[in-house]
Amino acid sequence: MAGAIGTLSGIALGPAQARADEPTPRTQSWQAVPAPGSTPAAQLRRIAAVGPQLAWAVGEEGRAGPSQGRGLAMVWNGSAWTKTDLSHLNHTRLSDVSGTCATAAWSVAQPAGSGSPLLRWDGTTWRESTFPGHGEPDVRLHAVAVGPDRQVWICGSRGGAARLLQGDGERWRWLDPLPVASANLYRVVVRSPGEVWVCGDQSNGGGWSGLVARWDGSWTVLPPIAGLRLGIADVHSAGPDDVWAVGTEAGIGGPPGRPGNPALSHWDGTSWTRVEAGFSVGSLSGIAGDAQGRAAWISGWNYQDQSRSTYLHRDGSTWTVVRGPVNAAPAPYLNDVTSIPGTTGFWSVGMTSPTPAPPTEAYTERLEA
């Protein structure tokens, strides 16, 4: 497997002091929101919101040493997070989540054995749902997104090829394989009914390059994003000539746990352009749009200054570093960011330190703009 973004999350060297040439960040009204207690090491990997009164966040807890841990899921009711019971499931991690209403959400999980489970939220609990290929040892489900028409889109692999699984909860179908050899998909994003974007990485012979593709009845694969072991963690499309991709460039090697470099790229309909992230060592993990559909916020991790969470905010045509609250966590690490529909606010999730080992706990922040 090439550069797995999911495994980059939370692997890092110890903190370092900010360099003199690092840009001076401005502040914004991000606030830490208490998450219910979970068994360290714990982290939230993804979050989805359908409004100010409802959101879901998923990840893992109980990860320590050789232990793979177990799945972690929380639900927001407008005033507090509540941990949901997963004791009836045997999964080591919930990797992604998406939903449309209080009784309809979907998650994909990391299995304790073979095959990948698909989970459905019924308003009270998470339960496994069947789909074509359910239980097959070579099937992997990596990410999920639900469109405004309630169609569910899942990226993963089956039969050795990267592909999409699409359905409505009752009827499912695997779509044509992505026409890229040795590809890994990490995120699926619905822009509109029938237009779906995926991202990840693809082998380039000596490493891997960033991968972004669109499905609208057939595949359109954009040119690879060049880099030294570059993986794309998230993608945002505001139109055919306005696509943003974020991720991490692992570089040419180094000791285990070596931090990479944040990667921000823009597609203008013709070519990719790399854009400076505002800090040089760390990662970018998620990107979210505003109410007009324009790319607005990026979640990241700045290795040079880990005292607060790190974001990029788009102000006009410029991305600016924004920092989260002071003393909210020992060294917060963000895995994802999403908008809150019906508002101008955003959620982010991650963990209280960059290393998924005790005493690290699940962590969330909210921007009420």
Find the helix or strand (DSSP H, E) in which 8 lies: helix 5-8
Confidence of residue 20 (pLDDT cuts 50, 70, 90): very low
In the chain, what are the domains? 5-367 (2.130.10.10)
- Give pLDDT, residue 362: 97
d(CA 93, CA 69): 7
- Give pLDDT, residue 5: 42
- Give pLDDT, residue 28: 58
Contacting residues for 20 by C-beta, under 8 A, at least 6 apart: none
Q: Rounded to 5, what percent of the chain is helix, strand, coil? A: 0, 50, 45
- The yes-or-no verdict on residue 324 having pLDDT over 60 is yes
Tens of pLDDT, residues 277-290: 999 999 999 999 99
| Listed range (6-15, 118-127, 159-168, 292-301) with the worst mean pLDDT | 6-15
Tens of pLDDT, residues 234-246: 999 999 999 999 9
- Give pLDDT, residue 218: 97
User: What one-letter code names the amino acid at 318?
Assistant: T
Mean of per-residue pLDDT scores for the chain: 90
Instruction: Look at residue 99 and give its three-state secondary structure.
Output: strand
Q: What are the φ/ψ torsions at residue 47 (nearest 5 degrees)?
A: -140, 145
With CA atoms as reference, report the closest residue to 333 among 280, 263, 283.
283
In Å, how far are 37, 46, 224, 319, 363 from 347, measured between CA atoms? Answer: 19, 10, 30, 19, 11
Do 127 and 147 form a contact (C-beta atoms < 8 A)? no
d(CA 81, CA 202): 37
- Give pLDDT, residue 255: 63
d(CA 279, CA 323): 12
- Give pLDDT, residue 316: 86
- Give pLDDT, residue 219: 98
Do 351 and 63 form a contact (C-beta atoms < 8 A)? no
- The yes-or-no verdict on residue 210 having pLDDT over 50 is yes
pTM over 0.75: yes
Contacting residues for 254 by C-beta, under 8 A, at least 6 apart: none
* Averaged pLDDT for residues 296-304: 97
- The yes-or-no verdict on residue 116 having pLDDT over 50 is yes
Do 212 and 246 form a contact (C-beta atoms < 8 A)? no
- Give pLDDT, residue 110: 86
